């Protein structure tokens, strides 16, 4: 694929993903606003993919240091993001019917 075509296809992906993102979050109860924010926060931890590529790419000491910090940051975002979201959603597990069980946990 020529680089010109590659760019156009990337741009198409960008536009479609933007519309999809808008459509996905149309009506969400306010109860779930914070967990949803936290869950999407974990998803942009995907930047760790970019950080790994940057660190693996040929470079010098400067790019290695920057790439290393970026990998640490990205890993914090991914692991911490999913972990915190999970803990938040754990709180929703307690439903009226199951409350007795949840308390004896």
Partner 1 sequence: MILAAPAFIAYLAAAVLFILGIRRLRSPETARSGNSISAFGMLIALGTTFFINGVLSLPEILAGIIIGGSIGAVSAQKVKMTAMPQMVAAFNGVGGGAAALVALSEFYRTDALGSGNEGLVAAITSVLSILIGSVSFAGSVIAFSKLQELFFTGSVSFPLQKALNAALAVVVIIVGANAISNGAFLPFLSPVASIVIVLFVSLALGVLLVVPIGGADMPIVISLLNAFTGMAAAMSGFVLANNVLIISGTLVGASGTILTRLMSSSLGRPLGKILFASVSGAPKKKEDEEEKPVNSVGPDDVAALLNYEADKVIMVPGYGLAVAQAQGAMAELMNVLESKGKEVKFAIHPVAGRMPGHMNVLLAEADVPYDKLYDMEDINDEFAETDVVIVVGANDVVNPAANDPEQDSPISGMPVLNVDQAQHVVFIKRSLSPGFAGVDNPLFYDQEKTMMLFSDAKQGLQDVISAVKSG
- Least distance to partner 1, CB of residue 52, Å: 5
Q: What secondary structure does DSSP assign to 15-64, as a single string? A: HHHHHHHHHHSSS--GGGHHHHHHHHHHHGGGHHHHHHHHHHSS--HHHH
Site membership for partner 1, residue 103 (CB under 8 A): yes
Token pair 């692991």 is found at: 79
Closest approach of partner 1 to the CB of residue 4, in Å: 10
The values of phi and psi at residue 27, to 5°, are: -125, 105
Stretch 29-58: interaction string toward partner 1, x if CB under 8 A: xxxxxxxxxxxxxxxxxxxxxxxxxxxxxx
Binding residues for partner 1 restricted to 6-25, rule: CB under 8 A: 6-7, 10, 13-14, 17-22, 24-25
Task: Report the site for partner 1 in 51-90 (rule: CB under 8 A).
Answer: 51-60, 62-64, 66-90
**52 burial class (0-12, 13-18, 19+ CB within 10 angstroms)?**
middle
| 5 binding partner 1? (CB under 8 A) | no
Number of residues that bind partner 1 (CB under 8 A): 87
CB of 61 to partner 1, least distance (A): 11
CA distance 39 to 83: 10
């Amino acid at each position: 694929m020529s680089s010109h075509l590659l760019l156009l296809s990337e741009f198409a992906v960008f536009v479609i993903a933007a519309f999809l993102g808008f459509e996905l979050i149309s009506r969400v109860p306010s109860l779930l606003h914070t967990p949803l924010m936290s869950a999407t926060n974990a998803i942009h931890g995907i930047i760790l993919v970019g950080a790994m590529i940057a660190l693996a790419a040929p470079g010098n000491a400067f790019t290695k240091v920057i790439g290393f910090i970026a990998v640490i940051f990205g890993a914090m975002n991914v692991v911490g993001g999913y972990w915190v979201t999970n803990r938040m959603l754990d709180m929703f597990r307690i439903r009226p019917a199951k409350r007795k069980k949840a308390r004896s946990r």
